[in-house]
Amino acid sequence: MPPTIIENADLRRLNTFAVPARAARLVELDETAGASEALAACAGHGPMMVLGAGSNVLFTRDFEGSILRVRTCGRRIVSASGDEVVVEAQAGESWDGFVRWTLAGALFGLENLSLIPGCVGASPIQNIGAYGVEMCEFFDSLEAIDLDTGAQRRFDAPQCGFAYRDSVFKHGQAARWLILGVRFRLSRTARPRFDYAELRGELARSGVAHPSPDQIARCVVAIRSSKLPDPALLGNAGSFFKNPIVDLPRAKELIDRHPGMPNWPASQGIKLSAAWMIDRCGLKGAREGDAGVHDRHALVLVNHGSARGCDIWALAMRVRDAVHQRFGIVLEPEPTIV
């Protein structure tokens, strides 16, 4: 099937913030085999960007170029050896649908990552993570195509440079790859992970001492649903800022000055809670017109209806300035800002 081309495309339904924006050209890819043709349809029409489910992007203006939207579907078992099973999903598959498919097939590892919005192709870019697990722990490899040359290649985990909410695909030349499909290495043996305090607490409250992967998935869904807004009902892109990572002396000084500040060891220092800092600035539930800070989770910015991307961005800057003034920390946005 050749890619679909739409000129002067409306992007409001294609971004979960539901902000109004237009793209000069939208090229929709439904079959992996059509990737080269889709790239050709984008070429020569200004800058190019790739869009999946639109759940991690904020359009602050129209996009004067081509947007390549990936809608390719398909998932399969690639190989199985003893306990270990390698599975593959096409980039346009819904992440949560994919996680549910793995669990239905008794393939374990991704249960803590239930209900994360977005598609499989975006998961390595951000190295999505939640409730004590990061995608990179179960990643096997990915297939990608160079947006400029059309050359295709496979990346293994070290080549992806995974870190907290980061990979090579967010930086420089490597951001010029279109991810076509991702493989994961899962297990037939359940190895439940519930160290994350909130998950542990919720399971204990339900009287579950030895949770199965399905019970973990259900518990994660319950926690997420209780405080993270459903983008279908209230526009948002999940966490708007990354949790800042600071060195040990700086963390000690901040924790001494602000008792109760949540903190976790991270690979390059100590991770602090952006939500907690925003909350302490009194901004939870704040609202400027239709741009708001969610009233149940301070790290989530929301569109109450008719906010434009620039309104959300203006509120984000107000939040960033308040946190900087009070804690001396500059928060970094998590979504891609256009």
Which positions are catalytic?
165, 239, 334
State phi, psi for 277 to the nearest 5 degrees: -65, -40
CB 120 within 8 A of CB 140: no
Q: Residue 34 or 238: which CB sits closer to ligand EPU? A: 238
Q: Residue 247 or 332: which CB sits closer to ligand EPU? A: 332
x/- binding map, residues 163-202, to ligand EPU, per CB under 6 A?
Answer: -----------------------------------x----
Burial class (CB in 10 A: 0-12, 13-18, 19+), 232: exposed
Shortest approach of ligand EPU to residue 82 CB, angstroms? 31
The two three-digit tokens of residue 43, written as one number: 């070429």
Tracing tokens 């439904």 back to the chain, one arrives at 30
DSSP structure class, residue 276: H
Residue 99 binds ligand EPU, judged by CB under 6 A: no
Q: 3-state class of 67 per DSSP?
A: strand
Residue 171 CA to residue 157 CA, distance in Å, equals 16
Residue 129 CA to residue 56 CA, distance in Å, equals 14
Q: Residue 39 or 319: which CB sits closer to ligand EPU? A: 319
Footprint on residues 213-232 left by ligand EPU (CB under 6 A): 228
Binding residues with ligand EPU: total (CB under 6 A) = 18
Pick one of 16, 114, 239, 303: the residue that binds ligand EPU (CB under 6 A).
Answer: 239
Residue 238 binds ligand EPU, judged by CB under 6 A: yes
Residue 124 binds ligand EPU, judged by CB under 6 A: no
Pick one of 57, 99, 298, 301: the residue that binds ligand EPU (CB under 6 A).
Answer: 298
Distance (Å) of CA 297 to CA 66, 67, 83, 304: 34, 31, 39, 15
Q: Are strands 177-187 and 152-156 parallel, antiparallel or unpaired?
A: unpaired
- Please report, as ranges, the residues that interact with ligand EPU according to CB under 6 A: 130-131, 198, 228, 238-239, 242-243, 262, 273, 275-276, 279, 284, 297-299, 334
